[in-house]
């Protein structure tokens, strides 16, 4: 938009804050509370200062629609997320034009078709059962750490390939943590600073890239492939007929594994922490498991789709504690919404974590209530762009189905194998991390169900 000069048409500005830092401290301390205060005072679109930048928050389904509909030459994700380039790599995702990024993301689609998802379901089940088999008959686990380990196993098996899984073992979870440690406020300023966290990030990426390079060389030499994303990328071609080179394949593999594993880890952990606070809903989900998948040798897509109550619990975790609490874009050209103009040069943002707590969108939003997503209510479908934990519009995460399926499989195995209770219930988000999980420790007590049942039966037999 050009020719807009009336100051009155700019979004209202939230007062206060510190010189240069602006509202950075309040945003870091509790971003949801901060943004909801701004919404209550100023409405669905308002601006504030953050580290020398003007940031315009857009909260609520109508504002989300404006944000997600904007073309890349108006709202640019690439300009904001340059701090991800050292993690994902050169010449992929945020290091290429939006058009080429779209083409690269399109290479994911063959790996997310039903026939692939069906194969992944079996692999997810195998990896989760093997992980759970190593637990003692009873004890305690940190749920976030446990989900990090099992989703890393699944990511390495389904996305990076069986050779990678065998050669790296359980090392991937730690490497992915080191990659995530490279995402911070200093990284947003300069991701190449000589900081210890950035050196760990670079070592972790180099380790993953070197191993993937060796596996790629072996497959190209005829070592045999697998039913995984690596094989999909090796067969892919750009629109001009060019095949992906090794650097591009490695970068896209790391991007997919990193994004999928971290969001699934926190979503899976929050799903359990919330579900275990509600005995009635937990009992209903357990009953559903017994009808749907319990006792079956393999979890099929059809069986997993017969778990609507578990799916509601996963969506409620997404609503209450979305992994990405803010999605930002650089405003390249003026953006208009409802008579207000967000001027070029600043940043625009939506916040799933804040927007999901608006009472006119979700009833009694601070209450855990998975039934809001059931067929009778469907609160997320009353307005478009109400539930945006995986983004929206053109840039909505295309791995959403994979992530939800993974969480369904893991929780199906855990609920089948164990009785689970929380050591405490007052779990709060850890806003110091980029992908916001629960503050640790988040301890869950467990007791193996089937072995306990067999022991009880054996004891009863002895008594008779």
Listed by start position, the domains of the chain span 7-463
Asked if residues 64 and 392 have their Cβ atoms less than 8 Å apart, the reply is yes
Give the per-residue pLDDT at 450: 67
Give the CATH architecture of domain 7-463. Orthogonal Bundle (1.10)
pLDDT digits (tens, 9 = 90+) for 440-458: 999 999 999 865 444 434 4
pLDDT of residue 97: 94
On whether the CB atoms of residues 384 and 61 are closer than 8 A, the answer is: yes
Segments in the chain below pLDDT 50: 1-5, 8, 452-464
- pLDDT tens-digit map of 27-38: 989 999 999 999
State how far the alpha carbon of 456 is from the alpha carbons of 126, 369, 391, 445, 451, in Å.
27, 35, 48, 20, 9
pLDDT given at position 359 = 97
This prediction has a pTM of 0.91
pLDDT of residue 201: 96
Contacts 24+ apart (CB under 8 A), 290-296: 293/412, 293/416, 294/416
């Amino acid at each position: 938009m050009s020719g807009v000069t009336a100051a009155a048409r700019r979004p209202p500005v939230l007062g206060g804050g510190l010189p240069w830092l602006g509202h950075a401290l309040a945003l870091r301390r509790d971003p949801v509370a901060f943004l909801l205060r701004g919404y209550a005072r100023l409405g669905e679109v308002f601006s504030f200062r953050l580290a020398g930048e003007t940031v315009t928050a857009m909260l609520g389904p109508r504002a989300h629609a404006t944000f997600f509909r904007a073309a890349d030459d108006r709202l640019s994700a690439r300009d904001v997320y340059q701090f991800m380039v050292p993690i994902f790599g050169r010449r992929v995702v945020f290091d290429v034009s939006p058009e080429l990024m779209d083409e690269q993301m399109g290479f994911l689609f063959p790996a997310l078709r039903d026939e692939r998802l069906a194969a992944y379901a079996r692999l997810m089940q195998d990896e989760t059962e093997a992980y759970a088999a190593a637990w003692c008959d009873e004890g305690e686990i940190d749920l976030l750490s446990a989900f990090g380990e099992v989703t890393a196993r699944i990511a390495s098996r389904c996305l990076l390939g069986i050779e990678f899984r065998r050669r790296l073992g359980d090392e991937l979870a730690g490497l992915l943590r080191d990659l995530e440690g490279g995402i911070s406020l200093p990284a947003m300023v300069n991701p190449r600073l000589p900081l210890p966290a950035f050196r760990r990030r670079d070592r972790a990426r180099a380790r993953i890239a070197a191993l993937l390079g060796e596996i790629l060389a072996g497959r190209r030499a005829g070592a045999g492939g697998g039913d995984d994303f690596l094989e999909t990328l090796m067969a892919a071609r750009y629109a001009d007929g060019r095949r992906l080179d090794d650097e591009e394949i490695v970068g896209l593999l790391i991007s997919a594994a990193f994004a999928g594993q971290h969001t699934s880890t926190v979503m899976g952990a929050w799903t359990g922490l919330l579900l275990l606070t509600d005995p009635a809903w937990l009992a209903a989900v357990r009953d559903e498991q017994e009808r749907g998948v319990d006792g079956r040798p393999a979890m099929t897509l059809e069986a997993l789709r017969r778990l609507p109550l578990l799916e509601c619990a996963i969506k409620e975790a997404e609503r209450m504690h979305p992994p990405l609490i803010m999605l930002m874009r650089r405003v390249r050209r003026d953006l208009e919404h409802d008579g207000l103009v967000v001027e070029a040069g600043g940043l625009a943002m939506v916040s799933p974590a804040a927007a999901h707590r608006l009472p006119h969108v979700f009833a009694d939003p601070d209450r855990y209530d998975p039934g809001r997503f059931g067929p009778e209510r469907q609160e997320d479908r009353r307005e478009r762009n109400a539930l945006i934990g995986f983004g929206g519009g053109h840039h909505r995460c295309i791995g959403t189905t994979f992530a939800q399926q993974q969480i369904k499989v893991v929780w199906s195995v855990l609920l089948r194998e164990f009785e689970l209770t929380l050591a405490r219930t007052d779990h709060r988000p850890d806003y110091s991390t980029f992908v916001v999980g629960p503050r640790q420790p988040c301890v869950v007590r467990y007791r193996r169900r089937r072995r306990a049942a067999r022991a009880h039966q054996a004891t009863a037999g002895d008594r008779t």
